[in-house]
Structure 1
């Protein structure tokens, strides 16, 4: 079994091969010293599927993929679903007086 070709993602994800069957996914838009740069670890299992350990949010809800391109497409979709601005105020939490 040979290593798959490098995925063709138009995003900022950096795929770093660690061994023949494992990869690290990083956010190339962040600096090397930013802990949030590390997005996931990926391992190819005995059946040829890719198991993903997500390390930050937002992340896809799945953790098993047929190939790295499919995983990166899901990661792109999860990232796109997040509002671009977090400057909005949070929703207020209702406060009630204690019950007697």
Structure 2
């Protein structure tokens, strides 16, 4: 007989989506205090085509800046936050260099 443990409850999201206009929001990290400048994570704006454009203000942040909906954006932000900060001490991805064409 096998027994499985029940799914642990999902933690409440730390991201706070605050409307600042009819088609604009800001995303804040609710785990930080109101006086902490790094609390502000991003600005989001819905454009004419219905997609969401994001201006990321801190790291870690996803590599994308355009999303179909806010749920997709927040899921991507959760994944980037879970991956942890990227160290600036590491070398960037190398770009292959080829000799000039003659």
TM class, shorter-chain normalised?
0.7 to 0.9
Q: Secondary structure at the match of 1:69?
A: helix
Moved over 4 A (4+): none
Q: Secondary structure at the match of 1:11?
A: coil
Give 1:43's aligned residue. Answer: 45
CA apart distance, 1:11: 1.9
Give 2:7's aligned residue. Answer: none
Give 1:29's aligned residue. Answer: 31
Indicate whether 1:11 and 2:13 are aligned: yes
Higher relative contact order, chain-length normalized (CA < 8 Å, sep 6+): 1
Give 2:72's aligned residue. Answer: 70
Total equivalences in the alignment: 78
Query: 2:32 and 2:13 mapped to 1: Cα distance?
Result: 13
Give 1:56's aligned residue. Answer: 58
Structure whose alpha-carbon radius of gyration is higher: 2
CA apart distance, 1:10: 3.9
C-alpha RMSD of matched pairs (Å): 2.0
TM-score (norm 2): 0.71
CA apart distance, 1:38: 0.1
Q: What are the ranges of 5 or more consecutive residues in structure 1 without an aligned counterpart?
A: 1-8, 84-89, 92-100
Structure 1, residues 14-71: CA drift from partner, whole Å, max 9, x if none?
Answer: 0000111000000000000000000000000000000000000000000000000000
Q: Secondary structure at the match of 2:75?
A: helix
